[in-house]
Every structure is written in C-alpha cells, then in structure tokens.
Amino acid sequence: MNARLGTLSNTRPQNPPVDLKKRPLTLLIIAVSIIWTGWIFLEGNPGNWRQFGVSSGFDVCSGDYWSLFTSLFVHVGGLHLYFNVYWLYILGGWVEERFGSRFYALLFLISGFCSSALELSFSGGTGVGLSGVLYAIFGLLWGAQLFGSHSTDEVLPKSRVQLFLIWLVACGGLTVAGVLSVGNVAHVVGLIVGLLVACAMASPARWGAKFALPALVLFSGITTLYSPWSYVWLGSRAARAQARPQWEVATYYYSAMIEQRPEDPWPLENRGRIQLYLHHELDGQADLAKAERLKRTPVGRP
C-alpha cells in the first residue's frame, strides 16, 4: 500500500481494541515478513532472488511451486513492507480475533495460493508481498457489509473501503502507464476470494459462492500445470522437451513463444539449434540469423 493514500480522509478512523493473544498467526506472519525482508536488505542487491524464496516465472513453471507461498513474505522496499504489515495487523488481526486462527490460516493459504498462481499465469511471475492476501481480507470484510453476514464497520469504515478501491484502480493505471510494476492480478484475485468467502458465509447462504470458491482454487491449481497462454509456461515446457530430448514437442512450444513475442531471440535461437540438429539447414540458419539481429535489443529469457 502507498503512504500517500493515507491523506484521502481528513478524519482518521479509530481502530477497535486489540487482543494480541487472539492474533498469534497475524503476529507470526508479520514477524516472518520483517525478518525475511530484512535478510534480503542485509544482503544488498541479491543477484539470485531464488535463494530468498522468489523464483522466476520460468522456474516456478518448471517445478519451484513452493515459491507461490514463500514469495508472499518477500517485500521490495521499506514502504512496501510497512504498509502491508500495517494493514495486515489492522484488518487481518481483526479477522483472526473474530473468526479464529484456523479460519484465518485457511483464508491466508487459499488467497495466497490463488493470487500467486494466477499472477504467474497471466503476468509471468508470482509477484511478491502480501497484497493479494490483504485484498482477500479486505474483500471478506467488505463483502460482509455487502451481503449482511457480519458487522465489520468498526474496522472497515467507508473511508477505508474507498482507500482500497482507489488503490486497486490506481495500481492498474500506474502499471498500464509504465510508472510502476504492480501485481494487479493478485490484487483482483485476492479481492474475489474474499468476496466469495463473505458471500458463502452470508445468511441465507449463497450456494453459488460455496461452489465458486473451490472452483477458483481448482482453476488456480490447473494454471500452474497448464497455461498455454503464458509465455513463461511455454518456455518451461519447451526447455523440458528439449532436455529430454523431444525435438518436435520443443519446436512446437518454441514456435508458440515466437508467435507471442517475435522480438525475443531466446526461442528463435533454441529453435534454430534444433533445426540444425535435425539437418534442416535453411530453417535453422534463418532462425539463428534473426536471433543474432534481435540480440542488439535483447528481451531475455522468460
């Protein structure tokens, strides 16, 4: 979350009383996030983010599925960390107090998994930080107001609803404008998870929401294994097929990558080498020559 958004309201909402004994998981998540991110800061500018729990989209699709969860605790700056743990303490802690640690843990795991998996599938990386989880918590609290399942006004007044919705839209705009790279898919997916949970908890129960939430979890899981629209997923399958070696399969995936991003030399170069190995000299030389030209303005490996 961004510090400047705190000025949207002149009247600062008063937070409800806190019972720390009823917030063990919230405090644990905050502590792990601070220690994990502090470890990265102490290392300076890490050359290999994988050792800190943030694998590239290519590596996640190749089997580093643990990064879907470990990346949640990593933050890229002091403000990023501060505002995420602040809102987790205020909103997440309230949810844990009222609904219990088991419910809170399940919400954390579901929203963290779905937001990371779908961010990976549609943007090429898991993203970092707790924002997807925070939007799930916000969605739960806001949905409780919309569907009348629980009273959450004391922790989520109208000014905070406006704050989260404005930030959601602003992040999309900043990303489109190229000003800031934000995990917008994770934000939206987290919000949907929270709203579905709130809807399922409403009385009378919305049965559609009870089916929709498992369907979303299932779809998120499927995308980690099969995302033919994802450039990094295609790249992971191409590299795996080439290593086996399954030349025709690898060529198929490299060709799909080239169709998506013709400016990237990496799939062209690998397809060209396969063509040469299979004695398709003209096609291979053409791919390699084009790859060499593109390297003057490289895009890089997915």
Positions marked catalytic: 131, 187
Residue 298, preceding bond cis, omega within 30 degrees? no
CA angle at residue 124 from 179 to 253, to 5 degrees? 135
What are the respective helix, strand and coil percentages of the chain, to the nearest 5? 70, 0, 30
| CA dist., res. 133 & res. 68, Å (int) | 12
- Identify the burial level of 229 via C-beta atoms within 10 angstroms of its C-beta, where 0-12 means exposed, 13-18 middle and 19 or more buried: exposed
Cβ-defined contacts of 31-38 (< 8 Å, 24+): 32/73, 33/73, 33/75, 33/81, 33/84, 33/85, 33/130, 34/81, 34/85, 36/73, 36/74, 37/73, 37/74, 37/75, 37/81
